[in-house]
Structure 1
């Protein structure tokens, strides 16, 4: 499920600042990066299954591996995890309404924090 028009799309921020802010919202980057892209995940374990709210970004300047990069965020996604295949984001997925509302609030709060130090 795409969360479009969150205001996160297109925001740019320093990677180290972004790591700190995302961590404060319980997102992890861990090994979810390469030299040009990052993925921040927040896991939700519910009776309906395991879900991941994912915020993606790419380096518009610098190198993620060197921890010196400016990251531009793109459209966040909500997916459901299926063992052993991975996370599915499709339109046919059934996402609990309470989870969707919670994710929308998290993304709105995240936007406010990132805007404080966003790079033009």
Structure 2
């Protein structure tokens, strides 16, 4: 599921600031990066399964590996994890309404936080 028009896709921000702020909203980067891209995930364990809210971005300037990059954020995704295949984001997936609402709230709060230091 793609969360369209959240406003996050219009924001660019310093990688280090994103790494400082996004964990406050449960979005963790861990080892999910390469030299040009980053992925922040928040895991939700529900009775219906395991879901991930994912916020991705790519470097428009600098190098992620050097911790000196400006990141262009992208439209957030919500996916369901299927063992052992991975996370599916397809239109045929069912996402509990309460989870979608919770994710929308998280994304709204993240947008407000990132706007304070966006470039």
TM-score scaled to structure 2, two decimals?
Answer: 0.99
Alpha-carbon distance between aligned partners in 2 of 1:26 and 1:74, rounded to the nearest angstrom? 18
Alpha-carbon distance between aligned partners in 1 of 2:35 and 2:100, rounded to the nearest angstrom? 31
Listed as ranges, the matches of 1:35-46 within 5 Å are 35-46=35-46
Note the alpha carbon deviations across 1:24-61, whole angstroms, 9 max, x for none: 11111011100000000000000000000000000000
Name the counterpart of 1:105.
105
Alpha-carbon distance between aligned partners in 2 of 1:93 and 1:26, rounded to the nearest angstrom? 23
| 1:107 partner SS | helix
Alpha-carbon distance between aligned partners in 1 of 2:4 and 2:59, rounded to the nearest angstrom? 20
Unaligned runs of 5+ in 1: none
Name the counterpart of 2:77.
77
TM-score scaled to structure 1, two decimals?
Answer: 0.98
Q: After the TM superposition, which segments of 4 or more aligned residues of structure 1 sit over 3 Å from their partners?
A: none
Unaligned runs of 5+ in 2: none
- Identify the range of structure 1 (109-118 vs 19-28) with the bigger mean alpha-carbon deviation: 19-28
For the aligned residues, what is the CA RMSD?
A: 0.4
Count, aligned residues:
119
Name the counterpart of 2:96.
96
Q: Report the Cα offset of residue 13 of structure 1.
A: 0.4
Alpha-carbon distance between aligned partners in 1 of 2:114 and 2:32, rounded to the nearest angstrom? 20
